[in-house]
């Protein structure tokens, strides 16, 4: 079980995928500030599963 703090990210922006024995969680959130600038947050975490996980 994995828990991540994804406060500030829209649920649609959070992606998970499996590559080989790795579970990868990625998210990107870009917000426009009142002065016209942008605020960007990115998250990428990967977790390697044990060799015989899920068998």
C-alpha 16/C-alpha 5 separation (Å) is 14
For residue 7, CA distances in Å to 13, 18, 25, 29 come to 12, 23, 14, 11
pTM over 0.85: no
Quote the pLDDT of residue 14: 95
CATH number for the region 11-48 comes to 2.60.40.790
- pLDDT tens sequence across 1-55: 778 889 889 999 999 999 999 999 999 999 899 998 998 999 999 999 888 876 5
Closest CA to 43 of 54, 22, 29, 23: 29
Domain boundaries, the chain: 11-48
Burial class (CB in 10 A: 0-12, 13-18, 19+), 28: middle
CB contact at 8 A, 2 and 29: no
């Amino acid at each position: 079980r994995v828990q991540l703090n994804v406060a500030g990210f829209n649920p649609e922006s959070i992606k998970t995928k499996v590559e080989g024995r790795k579970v990868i969680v990625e998210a990107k959130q870009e917000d426009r500030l009142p002065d016209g600038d942008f605020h960007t947050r990115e998250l990428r975490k990967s977790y390697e599963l044990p060799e015989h996980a899920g068998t």
